């Protein structure tokens, strides 16, 4: 109390000062506080609106969550039910799994065999095509048999009447009984032929053969002028069949020279209908377009077709079809067919002897040498003692043999099929063999039957090849799935047919093999490596020797092909030269036997090129080259070999023209004659006991097999 009294003056003064300060501060911030209040009020209103919006969204989310809770509850009930069902069906599920495993194994087996099934279906398609192509011939044969059997039946009836007066004789009675049995058999055959004839007529009427459809387009197609104004510059096209059976066309346009080429007609199904066919036009090796949607009149005349020819024509065009046009080139009128002098024809017919040079250097005294070959420009040819003879410009000749004064040559037409030619003097008969894009590789004649070894392609043209042989024109397919091919052929004394070739194992390994009457047998190779047999010859006792190549592993090159030959279960591998000297590859084409000595012909390759070579047993011998047209050739290949009076006779060709610089001077590589330009064709030649003879100075030949008589 005393304290307060003592200091009241100071307290009073302090209070006045404090009140003054507070009053002064309140006057300064009142406006600011009011402004802050208004700002905060605006923020609060915004937050209220935000809260209201969020509240609405929360209400919606609560509704969704409630619905989900109900769904989850229902799902829990279903899960409980499914769990019970799964528990009940677990044993059935296990059984089903086991069944699936079994089915899976079966599916695996089916997949393993799908390729075989594919090839089999391809065979069926191809054989169906062959059959369709021959239906007309079969119908004609059936008709001929029908007439023959009718005549025979009539003759038997007449004989029956003639012999009725002699029934008392036992031998005539037996004869009549036999004739009655024969007549019954003929009637049965007649019924069967009637069934076949009905089937053939039905198939022919349903579409006919592919050959009939080809004949349907042969003639001149003239496009109307109205359709040639804009999208089509083609004015006409002539389809022809040449004497060699080649299908050719000549296309005429408004502004260009005529265009010549070849055509084919393909069909997607059988029976073949020209309306569903596709005509493909090819110039050289280039397809220039197709013609489809062929429309026929009621009489079968072509009315229109859809053209798809690059740069020439596009779209459905009207056609004026003429079938009786002159399709042959008759520009040479020097020979008048109306002349009464037919001595020229008589001389030609009488000239049936083969002209054989008796003193040619390309022969051996006392023997005639027949060689098969092919020129890129002249086609299939053959030489007799060095004298060249033409066969077919559109074909390839692979092998040759002689029997009973006739010459037989095997080969094939490019992109078409296997063939062989029978040559009797100046008369040449070409025999086309069945099989899609087949190739005849070897030929022989035994007991008047002609055997050709080779292969043909899958019907789609891409899936691979099938080895086979043809006997008198009938095809016999070798066994085995996947790709396989046959080259050489031999017929043993008991009639067994042997073909040498290879088959592809799982698309990974090429396995050397041979077929005996179409049944496959493997030939051994080092460590089951690649290889192939290309030829077969018979020893005097009838046993077979197969020649070919096998692949051997090499640390530097990976693998090396070496010649090999098989006798029974034994395999012998031949040498090709030291790898250190650059020898790294080889090939075999021909085989000859001289007692127990085995000769093979082929080639060996080093880093420079490949060289004609033959082997005596397992020892390598290089063959010499020659100078042709002023150029030295040492490279090449030997294609066949024979031993005559102790002489080694080899045929083949010189290849590998040296590489020249821009001045025409041969490039010096320091060894050999330089890398080859072409090892496929060259100068045909023959080596007789080491001496080379050039058969032709035209350097585009391939040489096949030969025969010495």
- Both structure tokens of 182: 């024969």
Average pLDDT over residues 121-146: 47
Q: What are phi and psi of 497, to 5 degrees?
A: -100, 125
Exposure of 243 in the CB half-sphere (CA atoms within 13 A)? 8
- Mean pLDDT comparison of 16-25, 484-493, 522-531, highest-scoring range: 484-493
Average pLDDT over residues 546-567: 89
Q: How far apart are CA 558 and CA 579, in angstroms?
A: 12
Q: What are phi and psi of 492, to 5 degrees?
A: -75, 160
- Mean pLDDT comparison of 21-35, 92-106, 531-545, highest-scoring range: 531-545
Average pLDDT over residues 692-704: 91
Alpha helices in 206-250 (DSSP H): 210-217
Q: How far apart are CA 108 and CA 114, in angstroms?
A: 10
- Both structure tokens of 264: 């084919």
> Which of 554, 672, 664 minimizes the C-alpha distance to 611?
672
Contacts of 159 by beta carbon, 8 Å cutoff, 6+ apart: 179
Alpha carbon of residue 353 to chain centroid: 39
Which region among 556-570, 617-631, 658-672 has the lowest average model confidence (pLDDT)? Answer: 658-672
pLDDT of residue 343: 33
Q: How far apart are CA 107 and CA 169, in angstroms?
A: 73
> Which of 484, 479, 473, 517 minimizes the C-alpha distance to 498?
517
pLDDT of residue 320: 85
pLDDT of residue 353: 46
DSSP codes, 154-183: HHHHHHHHHHGGGTTSHHHHHHHHHHHHHH
Report whether pLDDT(589) > 70: yes
Q: Which run of H or E residues covers position 422?
A: strand 418-424
pLDDT of residue 266: 79
Both ends of the chain: CA-CA distance in Å?
Answer: 165
Report whether pLDDT(246) > 90: no
Confidence tier at 170 by pLDDT (50, 70, 90): low
Whole-number Cα distances in Å, 633 to 146, 678, 693: 64, 12, 13
> Which of 292, 294, 131, 277 minimizes the C-alpha distance to 204?
131
Question: What b-and-e string marks burial along 576-589, b requiring 16 or more CB atoms within 10 Å of the CB?
Answer: bbeeeeebbbbbbb
Contacts of 484 by beta carbon, 8 Å cutoff, 6+ apart: 455, 465, 466, 467, 478, 501, 502, 503, 504, 513, 520
Q: What is the pLDDT of residues 260-293, one digit of tens each?
A: 999 888 776 656 678 888 898 988 878 889 999 8
Q: How far apart are CA 413 and CA 487, in angstroms?
A: 17
> Which of 686, 706, 684 minimizes the C-alpha distance to 696?
684
Confidence tier at 554 by pLDDT (50, 70, 90): confident
Q: In this predicted model, which residue has the larger pLDDT, 255 or 546? A: 546
Alpha carbon of residue 92 to chain centroid: 51
Exposure of 83 in the CB half-sphere (CA atoms within 13 A)? 6
Confidence tier at 109 by pLDDT (50, 70, 90): very low
3-state SS assignment for residue 586: strand
Report whether pLDDT(317) > 80: yes
Average pLDDT over residues 45-60: 72
Confidence tier at 706 by pLDDT (50, 70, 90): very high
Q: How far apart are CA 47 and CA 45, in angstroms?
A: 5
Is the bond preceding 491 in cis, omega lying within 30 degrees of 0? no
Report whether pLDDT(80) > 70: no
Say what the pTM is: 0.53
> Which of 598, 624, 628, 626 minimizes the C-alpha distance to 613?
624
Confidence tier at 127 by pLDDT (50, 70, 90): very low
pLDDT of residue 153: 59
Q: How far apart are CA 538 and CA 500, in angstroms?
A: 12
Mean pLDDT of the chain: 75
- Mean pLDDT comparison of 214-228, 434-448, 505-519, highest-scoring range: 434-448
107 class by beta-carbon count within 10 Å (0-12 exposed, 13-18 middle, 19+ buried): exposed
Report whether pLDDT(489) > 90: yes
Q: Count of H helices and E strands in the chain?
A: 5, 38
Largest CA distance in the chain: 192
DSSP letter at 609 equals -
3-state SS assignment for residue 307: strand
pLDDT of residue 518: 93
Contacts of 482 by beta carbon, 8 Å cutoff, 6+ apart: 115, 116, 119, 464, 503, 504, 505, 506, 507
Q: What is the pLDDT of residues 469-479, one digit of tens each?
A: 999 999 999 98
Q: What is the pLDDT of residues 385-440, one digit of tens each?
A: 988 999 999 999 999 999 999 999 999 998 789 999 999 988 999 999 999 889 99
User: Using CA of residue 49, residue 54, residue 60, residue 66, what is the dihedral sign?
Assistant: negative
Confidence tier at 194 by pLDDT (50, 70, 90): low
- Both structure tokens of 614: 């033959």
Give the angle 398-403-406 at the CA atoms, nearest 5°.
80
- Mean pLDDT comparison of 208-217, 373-382, 502-511, highest-scoring range: 373-382
Report whether pLDDT(226) > 70: no
Exposure of 188 in the CB half-sphere (CA atoms within 13 A)? 6
Confidence tier at 163 by pLDDT (50, 70, 90): low
């Amino acid at each position: 109390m005393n304290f307060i009294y003592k200091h009241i003056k100071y307290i009073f003064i302090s209070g006045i000062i404090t009140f003054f300060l507070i009053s002064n501060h309140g006057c300064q911030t009142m406006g600011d506080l009011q402004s802050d209040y208004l700002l905060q009020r605006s923020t609060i209103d915004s937050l209220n609106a935000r809260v209201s919006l969020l509240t609405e969204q929360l209400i919606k989310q609560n509704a969704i969550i409630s619905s989900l809770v109900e769904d989850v509850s229902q799902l829990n009930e279903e899960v409980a039910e499914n769990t019970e069902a799964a528990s009940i069906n677990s044993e059935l599920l296990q059984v089903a799994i086991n069944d699936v495993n079994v089915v899976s194994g079966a599916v695996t087996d089916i997949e393993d065999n799908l390729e075989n099934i594919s090839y089999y279906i391809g065979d069926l398609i191809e054989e169906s095509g062959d059959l369709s192509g021959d239906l007309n011939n079969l119908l004609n044969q059936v008709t001929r048999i029908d007439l023959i059997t009718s005549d025979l039946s009539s003759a038997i009836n007449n004989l029956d009447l003639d012999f009725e007066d002699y029934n008392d004789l036992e031998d005539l009675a037996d004869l009549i009984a036999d004739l009655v049995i024969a007549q019954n058999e003929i009637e049965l055959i007649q019924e069967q032929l009637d069934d076949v004839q009905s089937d053939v007529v039905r198939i022919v009427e349903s579409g006919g053969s592919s050959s009939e459809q080809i004949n349907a387009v042969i003639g001149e197609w003239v496009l109307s002028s109205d359709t040639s104004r804009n999208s089509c510059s083609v004015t006409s096209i002539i389809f022809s069949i040449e004497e060699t059976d080649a299908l050719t066309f000549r296309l005429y346009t408004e502004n260009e020279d005529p265009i010549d080429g070849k055509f084919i007609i393909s069909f997607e199904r059988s029976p073949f209908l020209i309306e569903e066919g596709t005509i493909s036009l090819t110039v050289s090796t280039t397809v220039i377009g197709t013609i489809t949607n062929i429309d026929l009149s009621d009489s079968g005349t072509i009315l229109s077709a859809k053209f798809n020819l690059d740069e020439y024509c596009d779209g459905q065009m009207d056609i004026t079809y003429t079938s009786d046009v002159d399709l042959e080139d008759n520009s040479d009128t020097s020979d008048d067919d109306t002349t009464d002098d037919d001595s020229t024809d008589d001389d030609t017919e009488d000239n049936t002897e083969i002209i054989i040079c008796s003193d040619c250097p390309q022969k051996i005294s006392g023997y005639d040498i027949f060689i098969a070959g092919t020129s890129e420009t002249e086609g299939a040819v053959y030489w007799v003692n060095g004298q060249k003879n033409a066969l077919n410009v559109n074909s390839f000749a692979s092998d040759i043999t002689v029997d009973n004064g006739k010459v037989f040559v095997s080969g094939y037409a490019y992109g078409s099929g296997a063939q062989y030619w029978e040559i009797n003097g100046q008369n040449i008969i070409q025999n086309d063999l069945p099989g899609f894009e087949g190739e005849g590789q070897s030929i022989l004649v035994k007991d008047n039957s002609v055997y050709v070894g080779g292969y043909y392609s899958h019907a789609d043209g891409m899936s691979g090849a099938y080895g086979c042989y043809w006997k008198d024109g009938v095809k016999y397919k070798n066994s085995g799935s996947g790709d396989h091919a046959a080259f050489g052929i031999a017929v043993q004394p008991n009639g067994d047919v042997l073909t040498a070739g290879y088959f592809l194992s799982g698309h990974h390994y090429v396995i050397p093999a041979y077929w005996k009457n179409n049944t496959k047998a493997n030939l051994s190779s080092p460590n089951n490596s690649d290889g192939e047999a290309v030829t077969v010859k018979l020893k005097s006792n009838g046993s077979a020797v197969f020649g070919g190549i096998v692949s051997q592993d090499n640390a530097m090159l990976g693998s090396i092909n070496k010649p090999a030959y098989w006798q029974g279960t034994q395999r012998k591998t031949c040498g090709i030269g030291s790898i250190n000297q650059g020898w790294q590859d080889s090939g075999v084409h021909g085989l000859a036997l001289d007692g127990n000595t085995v000769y093979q012909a082929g080639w060996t390759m080093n880093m420079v090129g490949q060289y004609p070579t033959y082997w005596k047993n397992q020892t390598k011998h290089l063959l010499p080259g020659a100078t042709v047209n002023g150029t030295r050739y040492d490279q090449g290949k030997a294609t066949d070999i024979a031993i005559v009076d102790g002489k080694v006779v080899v045929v083949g060709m010189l290849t590998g023209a040296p590489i020249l610089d821009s001045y025409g001077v041969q490039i010096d590589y320091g060894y050999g004659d330089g890398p080859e330009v072409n090892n496929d064709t060259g100068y045909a030649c023959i080596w007789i006991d080491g001496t080379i003879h050039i058969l032709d100075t035209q350097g585009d030949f391939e040489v096949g097999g030969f025969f010495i008589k």
